[in-house]
Structure 1
Amino acid sequence: MSIVLSPSLLAADMGHLAQELQTLEECGIKALHIDVMDGNFVPNIAFGPDQIKMLRPLTTMKFDVHLMIVKPERYIQTFADAGADAITVHPEACTHLHRTLQMIKATGRTVGVSLNPATPIEVLEYMYELVDRVLLMTVNPGYGGQKNIVAMNKKIEQLAAAKEAGNYSFEIQVDGGINKENIKAVIAAGARNIVIGSALLQRGKTKENIADYQNIIRSLQL
């Protein structure tokens, strides 16, 4: 099984961002998770297309852009043009989810859907064939550093079962409170793309932390 580690930009040291990105690349990281927040869908504000456009020349890592904003369909092309390689939206924030996913697909970007903790996987019943990635939030979105909601492991298992039953190809991604103590549990439940923020990006310790997580992942893949 192939397991991907996706550092979250939200936890990066903004005063040394170029150096942080270089460190991630040197450690073999292939994609950066970027949370976009509008202060409406979630109680926080973070990043936008202009910041992503400025970051794009600094790294060859893919930009996995998570839109935690209302009516994301208004900005799909904008974020694609800014440099997003993957775009993830929330059904809770879309008036017409199917149409929004089609819009992402039309840009040629990887199509993602994210579900908040209280949102059942059944909302995706007719969407699975459209998506490349399903992101399950294991905290309520908006802030980094929150404690992982352990009950979400059952939800990961349910999604993994639905994927297998339908023979779908989408990737299962998780985000929220993942650390060295619980990463094995979310992987065992079926997650294959692991977003980690404050437990990974730490000034002066990032390289060491990545090595630790990579060793854990490697031990599971042996």
Structure 2
Amino acid sequence: MTTGFCEAPLAAADLQTRETLVAWFRRTAPHLSVGLMAADAMAYGASVKTLEEAGVNILHYDVMDGVFCPSMTSGAGLVKATRTRMLKDVHLMVKDALDHIPAIVAAGADIVHVHCEGAVHLHRALVALDTPVAGHEGGRKILRSVALNPGTPIEMLRPVLHQLEMVTFLAVDPGWGGGAPDEVLAGKINTFRKMAQEAGVEPLISIDGGIKAQTYPIAAAMKPDMIVSGSAVFKDGQTIADNLAELTRGA
């Protein structure tokens, strides 16, 4: 028997500034970011409504260009078209994020992940993201995240540690299946935490890839602030609410 999905609600005060949003993430971590690309593309609107009713706070968009990774998906147009109270969490799996950032910012993204492997000018991409969320009257800025593929060393992050609010650790290579959070990923995250502490910063940590009911507790034990999952939430045979409960009950 499943228990209900429980997520800390977002209050107006949590959305006032970048700092208050970061504090909300830390307060009751880990938070679940649900990947919309795993839903039925012909029923995105219904899926978004159901996720809101279930108490989900963060909606994840995988933007793939077919160059950086094999697949191609929707981009800024879908992000902008989504009418939702959920935070818009955009993962840019593209050749050069700078080419996509203006449209993603205009679409109202709240969180944007850029890959250091695909960024020709990573620092410039983070500078371009140091901007208010479009349509947010209070001027809250976008949370900037750098995403790392499984084979990418954390040393790639050292030069930009003071320019980001989040780091996303992928357990699966972008565009491919298989893989899951494991002891190698846990070691990588622990090493990063030591590096960040030495630098006097504490970015939020997100884990993405291979997250299902069996692996969610493994990821949660690594104490991230956010966990991304899509297919486990939209799998056939159960309602979205039941899938959410099944996914998180073991953590």
The answer to whether TM tops 0.5 is yes
Runs of 4+, deviation exceeding 3 Å: 163-167, 213-217
Deviations 1:69-90 (A, max 9, x none): 1111122121110121111111
Distance 1:40 1:10 in 2: 18
Deviations 1:143-179 (A, max 9, x none): 4x53315232221222233334444231110111012
Secondary structure of the 2:69 match is coil
Which region of structure 1 is more displaced relative to structure 2, 13-22 or 110-119? 13-22
Match of 1:159 among 192, 198, 209: 192
Distance 1:91 1:82 in 2: 22
Deviations 1:28-53 (A, max 9, x none): 11111101000000001011111222
> Is the aligned partner of 1:92 residue 2:117?
yes
How many residues of Structure 1 are paired with residues of Structure 2 in the alignment? 214
> Is the aligned partner of 1:71 residue 2:96?
yes
Deviations 1:167-200 (A, max 9, x none): 4231110111012222222222232210011112
Distance 2:243 2:33 in 1: 13
Distance 1:106 1:178 in 2: 31
Secondary structure of the 2:56 match is coil
Fraction of identical pairs, as percent: 33
Matches within 5 A, 1:1-150: 2-55=29-82, 57=83, 59-107=84-132, 108-143=141-176, 145-148=177-180, 150=182
1:146–1:156 Cα change, 3 Å = same
Secondary structure of the 1:126 match is helix
Q: CA RMSD in A?
A: 1.7
Secondary structure of the 1:22 match is helix
Structure 2 runs not aligned, ≥5 long: 1-27, 133-140
Equivalent residues of 1:157, 1:190 under 8 A apart: no
Distance 2:115 2:243 in 1: 30
State the shift of 1:206 in Å.
1.4
Distance 2:92 2:38 in 1: 17
1:24–1:167 Cα change, 3 Å = farther
- Aligned partner of 1:207 in structure 2 is 241
State the shift of 1:212 in Å.
2.8
Q: Which amino acid is 1:27 matched to?
A: A
TM-score, normalised to structure 2, is: 0.79
TM-score, normalised to structure 1, is: 0.89
Which region of structure 1 is more displaced relative to structure 2, 112-121 or 179-188? 179-188
Secondary structure of the 2:129 match is helix
Secondary structure of the 2:249 match is helix
Q: Which amino acid is 1:23 matched to?
A: T
1:26–1:167 Cα change, 3 Å = farther
Distance 2:147 2:108 in 1: 20
Structure 1 runs not aligned, ≥5 long: 218-222
Distance 2:213 2:241 in 1: 14
Secondary structure of the 1:114 match is strand
Distance 2:80 2:30 in 1: 28
Secondary structure of the 2:250 match is helix
Distance 2:97 2:59 in 1: 20
